[in-house]
Structure 1
Amino acid sequence: MKKKEIYRIAIGCLVALIAYYIFTFDLSSCRRSVTSETLPVSDSIPDTLRFVTLSGSTTYFYFRGEDMGYEYDLAKLYAQSIKKPFKLIVAANTKEMLDAIDSGKADLCITPQAITQTAKKKYQFVGPVERSAMVLVQVKSDSMVTSTAQLPGKEVCVAEKTRAANRLRHLNEELGGGIKCTILRGDTITDEDLIEDVAEKKIKLTFADEKLAMLSRTYYDNIDISVEVGLKQRLSWIVKKDRIMLAKSINDWAKTIPNKSAYLSIYKRYFEQSKNDSDSSSEEIVSTKNKRKHRLTKGKLSPYDDLFKHHAMRLGWPWQLLASIAYTESRFNPKVIGWSSARGLMGIMPATGRRFGANNQQLLDPETSIRVAVDCLLATKKALGIKGNSPDEIKITLAAYNVGPAHVQDAQRLAKKYHHNPLIWSEHIEKYLRLKNDPVYYNDSVCKAGYLRGGSATRYVNKIMNWYESHKH
């Protein structure tokens, strides 16, 4: 073969090789471009996160003008960690909540769902995994039930159509019968109510979800929840199956939270810090020396009586009522900070303080606390349309001071809907405030503020009025 022909062939091969590499590079670039452009829009972390949840004692609730709840606070912690704002969607029921995820109206469901094989086909389970069982709720005593084997012959009360009722039936079958199963029928009976009945010794035993029981134990320190009556269920937040980047982001964050002080603070706030007796603490706050001094000073209820008298004139209430609020909120300790972040002598929330011109540090000053409390009570009366100071009007105002006007307005609308008087406290507003722990009522179309542990609000009013009646002279 001639040298010229060999040279021509070599040049042709070189040109073909270069063309191949150029084509391959262009094709790979094109492929990368197509891949990038055709990624599902949903597979990204949005500029504003949209959380969906149900109202509830451990998920989300609105209290004293602020958003709260264990799952809500955890979700907020995640949003803060990736420096993203968020929007909360409160669904009326589970179907509406899951529809929000399925339709893309919400990015993340923060009401934990049971981790099952069926659910895994549709959703990704993300975030912290909770393990929750049903537990036996009983009053602490030397004769407590210590295992399920001791339940035959004992009465257990549960509400019908609940997970607790199903578990009681199955456990009774597993043990060969013998448990006195009392299934309580009624639209207004909740697991929360039955835990309260156990604490008050109206019934002896009930079953409840472990998380709810843990929360309830911070209100009732005389109950025991140590006996599990079923296997632990694994639960977690969910996102749609195609939200790969969001799922990875949440899971990476979840691996770090058990050791973060912010997470530990949230857990302690809801499941360990006492909420017994008042929003402050079940501990005796005032020293023995100070208590003795107050008792021996004739005509004195507290060191702040002159301040109560001065500010009560703006409100038109007996000054002893302001003293009663202070005793209930703080036991006259001006430096106390409660589980809900309510601060100082009168238990003022930080947001309320800011609204009336006081920062967190200033709220620990007795005079500032009393001044802001009276400002808040006056604003509350105005929001509720209360112009007088009748016993009913005072009790309604006190309830709104405790939980916020929105919940009291919900109770008034419910009272009107069910043919009760929305201007009378006892057996009217009080009744429907208590019923706001029941989904049937707090999801009613007339309610705007959602779930409330309403029983604690009615007890709050009763404590203030009882203390006032005992000390007004």
Structure 2
Amino acid sequence: MKQVWLLILACICMMACRQQPQSEEAANYDLPQIKDSGVLVVLTLNSSTSYFDYRGEPMGFQYELAEQFAHSLGVKLKVKVVRNAPELIHKLLAGEGDLIAYNLPITKGFKDSVDFCGEDIITHQVLVQRNGNKVKPLKNVTELIGKEVYVKPGKYLDRLINLDKELGGGILIHAIENDSITTEDLIMQVSNGDIDYAVCDNDLAKLNKTYYPNLNIDLAISFDQRASWAVRKTSPLLAAAATQWHEENMTSPAYQASSKRYFEISKRMPHGSILSTKDGKISHFDKLFKKYAKEIGWDWRLLASVAYTESNFDTTAVSWAGAKGLMQLMPRTARAMGVPAGKEHNAEESIKAAVKYIGATARSFSKIEDVEERNKFVLAAYNAGIGHVIDAMALAEKYGKNKYVWDNNVADYILLKSNEEYFKDPVCKNGYFRGVETFNFVKEVIGRSEVYKKKIKS
């Protein structure tokens, strides 16, 4: 398997080396020309650590760094998402982008094609396990002998096979061939206790630990791999600017805030108990929920359930992604729905804007005649953004499911939006998405609203 992987990598590198800029203009396009144009075009990949759409807004660590770099140059940022690393190289050399804003492995083959620049990232593979196991977390790779480890085919499986040989055998390796299961799914299974061990890169592990705090990701199982941004060899001034910017800004507030947003801040909103149901109250905002729910024909207890799930009825809440207030509206959505600047944490403004957004979203799903069914799609879009739900509907239709039914149909494909086979499907227009959060959101909001209806009079 290792030999096959190395052969594939060599072929990729050779392909990249053969690609040449297709025009003299591309070959001579460097920092001065970028500044003259007023636009920096970056190439990247869809993933949880680089670039993705969240509730209609661009997100991702590499995206935010590229945006900060473009700002430092005094130009606007334009993002082009491509399918894989070889395509990054191909489109860069063809002049379709100025800079690869992605942690591209620094290999000899790639170095022959491009100049690496920016921050020199050191990555390695780690064992994903649980803290608080009945058995203490492993601290040495030799302890893997006799343990069951689950991995996806590719570099993780290759490394585990080599490690097993280095140890003289004994690791019980499970290669998960099922295309509907991703490495992030395996990480979730470790957190849930369904399996004990998985393997992934340390940056992906750090990001997932913000969702699952019971994970232990301290044990490295591979050598370090260097990675960085890249430009054409004919863009030395851009390369120098990117490297200088990284060196000077790694300790800046903006850079540190982006790093914490993706790799440190918990993605879980803490939840406490609701007010006593003895007096028929769910929250301090029940009158507002009743007032505005009428505008969209919703039961007010469903709207209250959204607020609880989003913010735990905390008007001061700010999520990792920057959503604010009682109803956790993203900044762009809040502005579009008329929330005055500085009023994002005002309960009534937040509810009023959320209801306006829900009403507009519901119109996008007007073909779903059943109101309760339509509400599930609206809730999914509230959590994920309309684009990802539309993608899941398109996938459901393509694979013979009912695109107008949520449970066991579209819901199955929102879960698959984190899988490359599905989010790179031509019917998907919005790329990678971590659908498990939306799947759980719809289930929790609906379930909690039913509890409210049983305990609280309308």
User: Residues of 2 paired with 1:395 and 1:251: CA distance?
Assistant: 47
| Counterpart among 130, 137, 141 of residue 139 in structure 1 | 130
State whether structure 2 residue 63 is matched by structure 1 residue 72. Answer: yes
1:58-112 CA-partner distances (Å, limit 9, x unpaired): 0000010100000000000101111111211011222322211010110001121
Which stretch of structure 1 is more off in the superposition, 124-133 or 91-100? 91-100
CA shift for structure 1 position 415: 0.4
1:118-141 CA-partner distances (Å, limit 9, x unpaired): 322211111112111100111112
User: Residues of 2 paired with 1:386 and 1:320: CA distance?
Assistant: 25
Secondary structure of the corresponding residue to residue 279 of structure 2: coil
TM-score (norm 2): 0.90
User: Residues of 1 paired with 2:339 and 2:186: CA distance?
Assistant: 40
Q: 1:360 to 1:442 in 2, by over 3 A?
A: farther
State how many pairs are aligned. Answer: 425
Q: Which amino acid aligns with 1:43?
A: D
State whether structure 2 residue 165 is matched by structure 1 residue 173. Answer: yes
Contact kept in structure 1, 2:66 and 2:77, CA below 8 Å: no
Q: 1:390 to 1:97 in 2, by over 3 A?
A: same
| Counterpart among 190, 197, 204 of residue 212 in structure 1 | 204
Contact kept in structure 1, 2:365 and 2:374, CA below 8 Å: no
Contact kept in structure 2, 1:350 and 1:359, CA below 8 Å: no
Aligned to 1:201: 193
CA shift for structure 1 position 314: 1.1
| Counterpart among 124, 141, 146 of residue 148 in structure 1 | 141
State whether structure 2 residue 48 is matched by structure 1 residue 42. Answer: no
Q: Which amino acid aligns with 2:100?
A: C
Aligned to 2:237: 245
| Counterpart among 64, 67, 74 of residue 83 in structure 1 | 74
Q: Which runs of 5+ in 1 are unaligned?
A: 1-36
Secondary structure of the corresponding residue to residue 404 of structure 2: coil
Contact kept in structure 1, 2:125 and 2:221, CA below 8 Å: yes
1:198-251 CA-partner distances (Å, limit 9, x unpaired): 111111100011111110000111111111111121110110111111111111
| Counterpart among 384, 387, 397 of residue 378 in structure 2 | 397
| Counterpart among 224, 230, 234 of residue 232 in structure 1 | 224
Q: Which amino acid aligns with 2:243?
A: N
Aligned to 2:361: 380
Aligned to 1:25: none
User: Residues of 2 paired with 1:42 and 1:385: CA distance?
Assistant: 48
Q: 1:421 to 1:366 in 2, by over 3 A?
A: same
Q: Which amino acid aligns with 1:113?
A: L
Greater Rg, structure 1 or structure 2?
1
1:163-191 CA-partner distances (Å, limit 9, x unpaired): 21111111111111000011111111210
Contact kept in structure 2, 1:381 and 1:387, CA below 8 Å: no
* Aligned sequence identity (%): 37
State whether structure 2 residue 347 is matched by structure 1 residue 366. Answer: yes
User: Residues of 1 paired with 2:256 and 2:94: CA distance?
Assistant: 34
User: Residues of 1 paired with 2:77 and 2:130: CA distance?
Assistant: 41
Listed as ranges, the matches of 1:20-35 within 5 Å are: none
Aligned to 2:408: 427
Secondary structure of the corresponding residue to residue 236 of structure 1: strand
Secondary structure of the corresponding residue to residue 256 of structure 1: helix
State whether structure 2 residue 438 is matched by structure 1 residue 457. Answer: yes
Aligned to 1:33: none
CA shift for structure 1 position 377: 0.6
Contact kept in structure 2, 1:384 and 1:405, CA below 8 Å: no
User: Residues of 2 paired with 1:120 and 1:148: CA distance?
Assistant: 32
State whether structure 2 residue 173 is matched by structure 1 residue 186. Answer: no
Q: Which amino acid aligns with 2:253?
A: S
Listed as ranges, the matches of 1:439-458 within 5 Å are: 439-458=420-439
Contact kept in structure 2, 1:341 and 1:349, CA below 8 Å: yes
